[in-house]
């Protein structure tokens, strides 16, 4: 499971000209899922994101988590996070889980994040053509991979 976590001042997701999710201060999470992702991957990633200290304290030091600031989150599925670009110029997405595998894991991740945050999170629509608008704050962008926990 791969995630791009962006600290945002605001973010929204629009599908077919309908805004379906919108937040102010918080995180936008782009989430890629592969077949081998497990419940342990989901639990680790959701817990880590909720507790990631990427928000400034009163001294201007990134010392506060999403939980500390009572921030919001939007989760957007993004199979392109598993793009393989080694050969040629057209990326291969063979490592990305197919919808029948990815959708249940995506929903489980959302539920786990909601449990960790104690609130609902916004979402995109799996497989839809989405327009994601955000104001990256910092900018702060963190890349996370459950198979390479650095």
E-assigned strand segments in 55-124: 55-56, 62-64, 72-77, 122-123
The DSSP H or E segment spanning 64 is: strand 62-64
Q: Which of 80, 85, 108, 141 is catalytic?
A: 80
Dihedral sign for Cα 133, 82, 141, 108, please: positive
Does the active-site annotation cover 80? yes
Structure tokens at 9: 């001042």
Structure tokens at 89: 């110029």
Instruction: Please give the Cα distance from 22 to 73 (Å, whole number).
Output: 9
Instruction: Please give the Cα distance from 35 to 134 (Å, whole number).
Output: 29
Task: List for the chain the helix, strand, coil content (%; round to 5).
Answer: 25, 40, 35
For the annotated catalytic residues, the residue numbers are: 80
């Amino acid at each position: 499971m791969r995630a791009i976590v962006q600290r945002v001042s605001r973010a929204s997701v629009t599908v077919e000209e309908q805004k379906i999710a919108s937040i102010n201060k918080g995180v936008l999470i782009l989430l890629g899922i592969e077949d081998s992702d497990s419940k342990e991957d989901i639990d680790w990633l959701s817990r880590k994101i909720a507790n990631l200290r990427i928000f400034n304290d009163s001294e201007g030091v990134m010392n506060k988590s999403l939980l500390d600031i009572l921030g919001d989150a939007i989760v957007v599925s993004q199979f392109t996070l598993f793009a393989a670009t080694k050969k040629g110029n057209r990326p291969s997405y063979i490592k990305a889980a197919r919808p029948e595998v990815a959708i249940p894991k995506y929903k489980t991740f959302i539920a786990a994040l909601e449990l960790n945050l104690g609130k609902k999170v916004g979402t995109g629509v799996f497989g839809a053509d989405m327009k994601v608008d955000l104001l990256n704050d910092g900018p702060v962008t963190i890349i996370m991979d459950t198979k390479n926990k650095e």
